[in-house]
Chain A
């Protein structure tokens, strides 16, 4: 069907790649035109932070979506979205490191140690590094499917850390952290449901298999 052909088309993937850069493009354009509010560094930090969470949530939507529409080859986009989450996360950390700390690593270490919201944020970012490094097909082969999958479940920790990071830094308006937390909870809940159903059907299957292979009386 048409949707299948569009998703499998190589130009779709290229268009998606370019589209994922649009948020950065908009930021660059606004920076060039002096339109990043009166506090441009804060705006940059917030926007790159937002897009890190968005891409984490988008990445986490792929697997539940695949269970719902298995005939659509959505897996081909998952790595790209995941890497973009790392990309924007890196920009977020870089903005903080440069403009807030002038890359004073002593000072950054103190912040990570003393400020809980920075501790979880830093944790979430650091956990994405091994995921980015092992994102290639070659790495999947080297680690083996099962080990690779286990490692990449770290994205759950990163996403949760990201939401907590946001919740702990706002002064009083927790609307957005709660909203992202709710979406994340749904995405994780979907996985739990699929896992329970898979377990149930496996148990039912093995019970049926045992009944079949039982000696006839």
Chain B
């Protein structure tokens, strides 16, 4: 006995043969198109060839090694130079890599003024010769909760302090970035006030870990990383590491700092990396190390606790964020 189940769709709903064949051909065409589309050669042809280390940048050689260097894996030159917060040249992470080309880094002078025995305007090349250049591989932690490891080149800022002889009235150091309205965004577009200013307490500035920096990865700083001279403060959030310095002033009063002016409840003067003190809007307990897929726990003072904790003994770091 033949038991047949009725078909569950009427014959009228069956796809007509020519439509079915057309659809097959459509899919085949799509697959072929997708394969070509996904091919590496076509991709390379379409993207700008800005991936290699700079061919023209001045090399810095004969660098001394530093005991402050970490053994953690360094991020690639490509990542370090194409993921930047330098709002003068755009607020997107990849903007400064192209827009900072407008920055003119020679000639460049830095004015050292205020509570010093001999205020003077230095040429950046003169400053570079004040002490032997070292390679310092530092962890760098942004307040946005991402981090990188960068092989910076420079020497302790204390070397410059020694040379300019601050007076006893110098309790703080104030820094200022270049502002050029012709090549840089205005404050309104960037969302923060320019020129960018930062500051340190005198003992922080004197600490050997505080780096006066001229280069990275064996060459002078790329524009987007704050050429030609910047600070690197590895135990603080990255925005304290001011770029493209034109003025250094020793003074009695605590200096204003740009991000604190922009949002006082979110960014403090000290801004030490501290997993226990959250940003009002997001957690600081973890961070994304670029190149890693999952987040990692943030470490007190970005892992430099044994070096700098003594600077803050007795201080309430939640109040003094």
- Using a CB–CB cutoff of 8 Å, the interface residues on chain A facing chain B are 29, 32-33, 35, 37-39, 41-42, 99-100, 102, 111, 114-117, 168-169, 171-175
**B83 and A38 form a contact (CB under 8 A):** yes
Please measure, in the bound complex, the distance between the C-alpha atom of A174 and the C-alpha atom of B190, giving whole angstroms: 9
B290 interfacial contact with A, CB 8 Å? yes
A29-B38 in contact given A42-B288, A172-B190, A172-B191 (Cβ < 8 Å): yes
**B191 and A38 form a contact (CB under 8 A):** no
Which of B64-72, B74-82, B167-175 makes up part of the contact surface?
B74-82
Residues of A within 8 A of B282 (CB): 115, 117, 169
Residues of B within 8 A of A42 (CB): 146, 288
Residues of A within 8 A of B93 (CB): 37-39
- Total A-B pairs in contact (CB under 8 Å)? 67
**B191 and A173 form a contact (CB under 8 A):** yes
Q: Across the interface, name the chain B residue whose C-beta is closest to A174.
A: B191
**B87 and A99 form a contact (CB under 8 A):** no
A38-B38 in contact given A100-B295, A111-B283, A173-B91 (Cβ < 8 Å): no
Please measure, in the bound complex, the distance between the C-alpha atom of A175 and the C-alpha atom of B189, giving whole angstroms: 8
Instruction: Tell me, rounded to whole Å, the shortest Cβ–Cβ distance linking A13 to chain B.
Output: 15
**B281 and A115 form a contact (CB under 8 A):** yes
B11 interfacial contact with A, CB 8 Å? no
Residues of A within 8 A of B219 (CB): none
B293 interfacial contact with A, CB 8 Å? yes
A99-B294 in contact given A32-B38, A42-B288, A111-B283 (Cβ < 8 Å): yes
**A38 and B294 form a contact (CB under 8 A):** no
24 contacts between A and B (CB under 8 A): A29-B43, A32-B38, A33-B40, A35-B47, A38-B148, A38-B291, A39-B146, A39-B290, A41-B288, A42-B146, A42-B288, A111-B283, A115-B283, A116-B281, A117-B281, A168-B281, A169-B281, A169-B282, A172-B87, A172-B91, A172-B262, A173-B87, A173-B191, A175-B189
> What is the 8 Å Cβ interface bit string for chain B, positions 123-166, against chain A (1 contact, 0 not)?
00000000000000000000110101000000000000000000
Instruction: Tell me, rounded to whole Å, the shortest Cβ–Cβ distance linking A108 to chain B.
Output: 12
Q: Across the interface, name the chain B residue whose C-beta is closest to A35.
A: B47
**B288 and A38 form a contact (CB under 8 A):** no
Instruction: Tell me, rounded to whole Å, the shortest Cβ–Cβ distance linking B56 to chain A.
Output: 22
Please measure, in the bound complex, the distance between the C-alpha atom of A102 and the C-alpha atom of B292, giving whole angstroms: 13
Please measure, in the bound complex, the distance between the C-alpha atom of A181 and the C-alpha atom of B206, giving whole angstroms: 47
Q: Across the interface, name the chain B residue whose C-beta is closest to A116.
A: B281
Known: A39-B93, A117-B282. 12 other contacts (CB 8 A): A29-B43, A37-B83, A38-B75, A38-B80, A38-B148, A39-B290, A100-B288, A116-B281, A168-B281, A172-B262, A173-B87, A173-B189
B37 interfacial contact with A, CB 8 Å? yes
Residues of B within 8 A of A41 (CB): 288, 293
Residues of A within 8 A of B299 (CB): none
